[in-house]
Amino acid sequence: MADYAVIQAGGTQVRVSEGSTVNLEGEQGAPGTEIVLGKVLMLASGGDVKVGRPFVDGASVVAEVVTHGRGKKIRISRFKRKKGYQRTMGYRSHFTTVRIKSIAG
């Protein structure tokens, strides 16, 4: 049993510990199901720290999917000077909220 772990989920690295709730990129699994996150970059237990190259062998994080959602809207604008061209678009990224059940490794 580890104190905390750093995992790679989507294109981001997230520090997780047992019982914590985090948002991960994209939609992963249906609400209520368990997912196994196998891309563990670092594992810390007490004073012992294991750093992977790039991943820690045999380490995994089990999480329960709580819900799906969409993030805050960001505005994207394009502009070309002297041409009278302006365009504005919006984008909302999808995320999955998960609760960390256990860290093994």
Write the pLDDT tens digit of every residue in 36-62.
998 999 999 888 999 999 999 999 999
Give the C-alpha separation, 58 to 91, whole Å. Answer: 37
Give the C-alpha separation, 47 to 39, whole Å. Answer: 22
Domain of 82?
Answer: 4-104
Give the C-alpha separation, 34 to 92, whole Å. Answer: 25
Gap between the terminal Cα atoms of the chain? 7
Pairing mode, strands 4-9 and 40-45: antiparallel
How many domains does the structure of the chain reveal?
A: 1
pLDDT at 2 over 80: no
Query: pLDDT tens digit string along 86-102?
Result: 999 999 999 999 999 99
